[in-house]
């Protein structure tokens, strides 16, 4: 193993147990290195910092002890020891084979940047391919190697309990946006009640008279989007509708996937009278297909989105959608994270922000 000894401006750097040692192992301390090498704690610190006045045989003995114990320098702790970089990372999932979501990522980033300015932090954004087998390690490397004091995780990384536990075991401060499943309750988080959002948009359409719905979902495993589908199903049960009154197909949150799924949905016989889309980009894609097929929206089919991004107001007809306060969510994630970094906060908190159904012209009454 190659050891990197990095000079520090103040004190000694903390030492971090290597990832391949497992999370159950005790993290060794600088005193363990001192005992194994037979020298004092101050000498170990001087060696690790590349300091002067250390005889070569002593330096070799300390480095051999470090290698035997399989240590490496923790760059995050070194940054904190030197006063801190005041840098936060926003980690976003990406798909290299699909176009990006038109507004979701930029809205979160804008809200986070605004709060960083207020809180005295800087922000950098990293897009990590969510389907890459090395995605988890990429996120860990971002946290440890980019001198950041905290990391904000977005779906599906915020759903991943193993990733969260690995980062916490390494002393990384975290906040999560819209976590689900195992990610809930492990770190401070912010989001809306996605299940209630799905319920509310479905209930609105059902009260307009629609009885045959289609749901154009996002990527399987995105638990916040799955919660929206759960809400749609709950609204249908409340109306006494059978399971086959809802047709479900998953896409990837893009305009293109919304178009492809809508082609199939609108070719069905009988055709669903309303399409509920997992986000506004997919709804815009579905709307384009309806126009191409000569269907009137909402006369022949109603279409709804989710997020209330700018595209929802500029397409024709403008989309009925669910408002998700994305900028506020990004800002609140930074606020929660900065409180942790500065020593505040008690139990892990989940801040639920309000959502609302935004009624526009793409959804209308239906008479069977």
Q: What are the pLDDT digits (tens) for 321-363?
A: 999 999 999 999 999 999 888 876 677 889 999 999 999 999 9
> Which of 21-30, 65-74, 117-126, 301-310 has the highest mean predicted lDDT (pLDDT)?
301-310
Distances (CA, A) of 207 to 126, 202, 217, 247: 42, 9, 22, 18
> Which of 92-96, 201-205, 224-228, 252-256 has the highest mean predicted lDDT (pLDDT)?
201-205
Q: Which residues, 6+ apart, have CB-to-CB distance to 141 below 8 Å?
A: none
* Lowest mean pLDDT across 49-63, 206-220, 224-238: 49-63
Tokens linked to 304: 């709804």
Residue bearing tokens 């993290």: 27
Average pLDDT, integer, range 94-101: 64
With both helix axes pointing from N to C terminus, report the angle between 223-238 and 194-207 in degrees, rounded to the nearest 10: 40
Q: Is the pLDDT of residue 129 over 90?
A: no
pLDDT at position 199, please? 98
Q: Which domains does the chain have, with CATH numbers?
A: 15-81 (1.10.260.40), 87-191+327-355 (3.40.50.2300), 194-322 (3.40.50.2300)
Q: Are 89 and 152 in contact (CB under 8 A)?
A: yes
pLDDT band at 296 (very low <50, low <70, confident <90, very high): very high
Q: In whole angstroms, what is the distance from residue 114 CA to residue 198 CA?
A: 29
Q: What are the pLDDT digits (tens) for 70-80?
A: 654 444 444 44
- Among 356, 335, 308, 334, residue whose Cα is nearest residue 109: 334
The DSSP-derived string for 9-30 is SSS---EEE-GGG-TTSPPP-H
3-state helix, strand, coil in the chain (%, to 5): 45, 15, 40
Q: In whole angstroms, what is the distance from residue 366 CA to residue 210 CA?
A: 6
pLDDT at position 109, please? 95
Q: In whole angstroms, what is the distance from residue 228 CA to residue 324 CA?
A: 12
Tokens linked to 344: 């505040």
pLDDT at position 318, please? 97
Q: What are the pLDDT digits (tens) for 236-280?
A: 999 999 999 999 999 989 999 999 999 999 999 999 999 999 999
Q: Is the pLDDT of residue 6 over 50?
A: no
pLDDT at position 55, please? 82
The b/e string for 258-294 (b: 16+ C-beta within 10 A; e otherwise) is bbbbbeebbeeeeebbbbbbbbbbbbbbbbebbeeee
Average confidence score pLDDT of the chain: 84
């Amino acid at each position: 193993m190659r050891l990197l000894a990095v000079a520090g401006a103040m004190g000694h750097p903390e030492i971090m147990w290597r990832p391949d040692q497992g999370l159950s192992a005790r993290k060794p301390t600088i005193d363990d290195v001192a005992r194994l090498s037979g020298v004092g704690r101050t000498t170990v610190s001087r060696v690790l910092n590349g300091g002067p006045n250390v005889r070569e045989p002593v330096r070799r003995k300390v480095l051999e002890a470090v290698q035997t114990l399989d240590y490496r320098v923790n760059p995050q702790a070194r940054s904190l020891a030197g006063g801190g970089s005041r840098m936060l990372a926003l980690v976003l999932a990406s798909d290299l084979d699909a176009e990006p979501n038109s507004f979701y990522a930029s809205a979160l980033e804008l809200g986070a940047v605004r709060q960083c300015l207020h809180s005295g932090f800087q922000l950098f954004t990293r897009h990590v391919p969510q389907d890459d087998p090395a995605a988890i390690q990429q996120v860990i490397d971002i946290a440890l190697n980019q001198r950041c004091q905290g990391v904000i995780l977005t779906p599906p990384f915020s759903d991943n309990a193993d990733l969260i536990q690995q980062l916490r075991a390494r002393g990384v401060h975290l906040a999560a946006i819209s976590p689900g499943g195992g990610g809930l309750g492990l770190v401070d988080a912010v989001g809306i009640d996605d299940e209630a959002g799905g319920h509310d948009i479905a209930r609105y359409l059902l009260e307009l008279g629609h009885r045959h719905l289609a749901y154009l979902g996002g990527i399987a495993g995105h638990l916040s989007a799955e919660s929206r589908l759960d809400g749609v199903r709950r609204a249908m049960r409340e109306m006494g509708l059978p399971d086959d009154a809802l047709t479900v197909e998953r896409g990837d949150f893009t305009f293109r996937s919304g178009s492809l799924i809508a082609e199939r949905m609108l070719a069905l016989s009988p055709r669903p009278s309303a399409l509920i889309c997992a986000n506004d980009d997919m709804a815009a894609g579905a709307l384009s297909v309806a126009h191409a097929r000569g269907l009137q929206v909402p006369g022949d089919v109603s279409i709804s989105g989710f997020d209330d991004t700018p595209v929802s107001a500029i397409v024709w007809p403008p989309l009925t959608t669910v408002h998700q306060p994305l900028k506020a969510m990004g800002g609140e994630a930074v606020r929660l994270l900065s409180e942790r970094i500065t020593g505040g906060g008690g139990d892990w908190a989940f801040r639920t922000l309000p959502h609302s159904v935004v009624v526009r012209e793409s959804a209308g009454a239906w008479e069977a």
